[in-house]
Amino acid sequence: MNLYQADPNLSFILQQYLDGEFYQWAKKELEDFGLLCGTEIDERAVHTDREGQPRLIKYNRYGDEISDVWLNEGYKKTIEQTYNSGIVGYIHKKIPEIGRKGNYLYSFAQGYLLSQVEPGFYCPVTLTMATAYLLERYGNEELKQQFLPHIISTGDVELYEGATFLTERQGGSDVGANETKAENVGEHYLLSGEKYFASNAGACGVAMVLARMEGAEGGTKGLSLFLVPWRNEDGSLNGISIRRLKDKLGVRAVPSGEVVLTKAKAFLVGDASRGFYYMMEALNLSRICNTIASVGIMQRAYLEAKSYAYKRDAFGNRLKDYPMVQETLVKMRVKQEVETSASFVLVDFFDKVVGLNQGAAKDQALLRLLIALLKAETAEEAIHFSHEAIEMHGGNGYIEDFVTPRLLRDAQVLTVWEGTANILGLEVLRLLNKFEVDQLFLKYIEQEYEKLPPKLQELGLPVKVSCEGLKEFIELIKGASVAEQTYHCKRLAKLMTKIFISLVALQDAAIGGERKELVARLFLDQTWRDPISYDPEMLPLKYFHQIVEE
């Protein structure tokens, strides 16, 4: 299947953000990549997940420690094809055919297709993206010259995939507890310590690592950012050993190791006192990747659920003809479509605020808020959608002959890495208390709502009413104790998310014609209607044909 052609919503989105020349080029490339993903990459992903998982080769035949990671040949082919398509490279360098740089939006369109079939490998891509971001933005010229061309390789030079090592045994959310030490030895540093969750260990060429210099203060403020090459120039390991690879529930394509650094040669990136802040910027980028991977899994889950419902008979009827099945499919289609649109609103905002320059503080705060909201929401939905896809298949859905179990296993990590839901709730609270982001959010929503044509304003009345509810909620929260605030922060985030995504549904309806208006109507209905009340309208049944069949 061609995953690009199977998803008209993606081209609807891209046409909004890419100018004519870029769109025409991107369309052709994404058609090719969508086919590759829907065929070869999908097939290889099955093998990688089952028999072809990365394996640690700890010692060579002479008993020397080599901490090598074996990757299967098909996976290596997927690496080559994906990076050569410019998923990281064209964010930073010119696309030869059109003589201009790409952007994050195009890269995320590729990421969205890739994560429908191989979300495990989208993790290394994400890490490479974050590494390139950090190096380009904060590395000195010498470092950039030496490493950046490899990190953004599109097949022109040897590829160095990236990695980001923060988490230690004593804390992932609590990065300030990091203990890895950096010793200054003149031109470079030597890093010693343990990194407990190190994805892409053994497969990366360079890693971005947080460590504390001698005499630096405790907590996050004392952390500096370092670039650590995996190997020395002669090919030997750079003071790095992999203790073991994690035996994971999902995302098995990516090797995630426990890494021990023993005087690993490292280069300082940027200002020594700002390492944590740099990493948090990269983390926000990774949270967007997480969002895109989530809507990708949602799309695959929908496609699988639909395909099964159209093939399977029970009690003499096709599954698709049963009202409950129709309701499930309509709800999945509509939610996936709207949340994908919302994710790309976020990506476009990121391109404007961060991708090209360092935007105004207010824009950055609003961006961080939207990232936290959408990362949390879409990760939960990816799990929910995978569950729905399994349910639609009955017993078969639970069996590894089908992709559905892997979808669920892969989706489950999306709520954990890059910040759990609790940590994201705390981020919303921080933004509220420090930057009054609630005011920025409300102003944004109200302004955009006012721009809608009257009939969509009427349809979007729940958004307007909920903004009033949100104001009251915020008043209560602002006057509350720390414990009360943290107790409520996820609820607050959820309300903001529902408001934001509903607005996006209405904005799509304003430009997307009759079908998008229907999508908005159904989305608002499923978002704001009390789920246990009697539903006399039964909109999903009424519009099943337009939404799912057309």
Ligand X SMILES: Cc1cc2nc3c(=O)[nH]c(=O)nc-3n(C[C@H](O)[C@H](O)[C@H](O)COP(=O)(O)OP(=O)(O)OC[C@H]3O[C@@H](n4cnc5c(N)ncnc54)[C@H](O)[C@@H]3O)c2cc1C
Give residues in contact with ligand X (CB under 6 A).
164-167, 171-174, 197-199, 248, 251, 256, 413, 416-417, 420, 422-423
Question: 422 vs 439, which CB is nearer to ligand X?
Answer: 422
**Measured from the CB of residue 16, what is the shortest distance to ligand X in angstroms?**
33
The two tokens of residue 48 are 């990688």
Question: 56 vs 416, which CB is nearer to ligand X?
Answer: 416
Quote the CA–CA distance of 477 and 489 in Å, as a whole number.
8
3-state secondary structure at position 270: coil
| Type of residue numbered 165 | F
| Type of residue numbered 76 | K
Beta strands in 49-117 (DSSP E): 55-59, 65-70, 94-95, 100-101
DSSP string spanning 345-366?
Answer: HHHHHHIIIIISS---HHHHHH
Question: 244 vs 471, which CB is nearer to ligand X?
Answer: 244
Q: Where are the alpha helices (DSSP H) in 173-274?
A: none
**Measured from the CB of residue 406, what is the shortest distance to ligand X in angstroms?**
14
Question: 232 vs 422, which CB is nearer to ligand X?
Answer: 422
**Cα 421 → chain centroid:** 14
For residue 207, give every residue at least 6 positions away whose Cβ sits within 8 Å of its Cβ, in sequence order, or none.
131, 162, 163, 164, 165, 198, 200, 227, 228, 230
Question: 129 vs 392, which CB is nearer to ligand X?
Answer: 129
For residue 401, give every residue at least 6 positions away whose Cβ sits within 8 Å of its Cβ, in sequence order, or none.
none
**Measured from the CB of residue 350, what is the shortest distance to ligand X in angstroms?**
20
Question: 281 vs 351, which CB is nearer to ligand X?
Answer: 281
Q: Are 119 and 251 in contact (CB under 8 A)?
A: yes
Quote the CA–CA distance of 179 and 165 in Å, as a whole number.
12
**Measured from the CB of residue 286, what is the shortest distance to ligand X in angstroms?**
9
**Measured from the CB of residue 166, what is the shortest distance to ligand X in angstroms?**
3
**Measured from the CB of residue 81, what is the shortest distance to ligand X in angstroms?**
23
Question: 164 vs 284, which CB is nearer to ligand X?
Answer: 164
For residue 470, give every residue at least 6 positions away whose Cβ sits within 8 Å of its Cβ, in sequence order, or none.
438, 442, 492, 495, 496, 499
From residue 219, alpha-carbon distances to 276, 308, 359 in Å are: 10, 51, 27
From residue 277, alpha-carbon distances to 210, 232, 266, 272 in Å are: 11, 28, 19, 11
Question: 113 vs 421, which CB is nearer to ligand X?
Answer: 421
Q: Are 466 and 495 in contact (CB under 8 A)?
A: yes
Burial of 259 (0-12, 13-18, 19+ CB in 10 A): buried
Question: 406 vs 516, which CB is nearer to ligand X?
Answer: 406
Q: What sign for the dihedral angle of Cα 160, 161, 164, 167?
A: negative
Question: 218 vs 394, which CB is nearer to ligand X?
Answer: 218
Q: Are 485 and 318 in contact (CB under 8 A)?
A: no
3-state secondary structure at position 436: coil
Question: 48 vs 502, which CB is nearer to ligand X?
Answer: 48
Question: 153 vs 167, which CB is nearer to ligand X?
Answer: 167
**Measured from the CB of residue 145, what is the shortest distance to ligand X in angstroms?**
26
**Measured from the CB of residue 440, what is the shortest distance to ligand X in angstroms?**
24
**Cα 75 → chain centroid:** 20
Q: Which residue is nearest to ligand X (CB)?
A: 172
**Measured from the CB of residue 247, what is the shortest distance to ligand X in angstroms?**
11
**Measured from the CB of residue 218, what is the shortest distance to ligand X in angstroms?**
17
**Measured from the CB of residue 123, what is the shortest distance to ligand X in angstroms?**
7
**Measured from the CB of residue 424, what is the shortest distance to ligand X in angstroms?**
9
Quote the CA–CA distance of 162 and 169 in Å, as a whole number.
21
